[in-house]
Amino acid sequence: MNQRAPLVFGVTGASGAPYAVRLLQQLAAAEIHVSLIVSSHGMRLFETETEIRSIDDLQRAVGDDPWKEFVTVYSNDDRGAPPASGSALSSGMVICPCSMGTLSAISAGASRSLIERAADVALKERRKLVLVPRETPLSAIHLANMLRVTRAGAVVLPAAPAFYTRPSTIEDMVDFIVARILDQLDVPHGLGKRWDGAKAE
């Protein structure tokens, strides 16, 4: 069993619920303890893009047994929860998907919610923070905020699937991004093949 400190996992709005579900499934399969925080917009996103209507539905999508062992849920309104404090150890944080509003708040250090505060903690404690936005096109404000959080130590990992892997399903495209996120979080996985150089015809 993996004994490392829990990973903080925030889910916000915009678009990209399938990425969040698949990532959570993979983290549980890898026996990574997760501190899960879903914003109200994140839950609305699940309802819009998947058949998930509640945290109970999300639990069933991940699997009851791994969920009970590896996932702890916190309210986004609870800024007294463990992820809000630097003294509570974590192995980093991922926000997938990350809305531009959330990214903006993190870039300004607003800390208006548990997700925003946990991200602020990750930055100040010099822990890995991976932000997965799904937005297009990008305004100058979006780009400036991305640059600001990157300079502060975050990794901005846009949900932009590649096609050199010749994906044949939506699941293949989702796995491509989830694999990149897992790599950033140092979580072993077997999602897809790694690039080994272009093959000549």
Read off the pLDDT of residues 127-155 as tens digits, 9 standing for 90 and up.
999 999 999 999 999 999 999 999 999 99
Q: How far is CA 12 from the centre of its chain?
A: 9
Domains of the chain listed by start with CATH number: 7-184 (3.40.50.1950)
Cα 163 to Cα 15, 41, 64, 173: the distances in Å are 20, 30, 34, 8
Distance of alpha carbon 20 from alpha carbon 42, whole angstroms:
10
- Is 10 in a helix, a strand, or coil? strand
| E-strand stretches of the chain | 7-11, 34-38, 71-74, 93-95, 129-131, 155-156
Q: For residue range 3-50, what is the model confidence (pLDDT) as tens digits?
A: 789 999 999 998 999 999 999 999 999 999 999 999 999 999 999 999
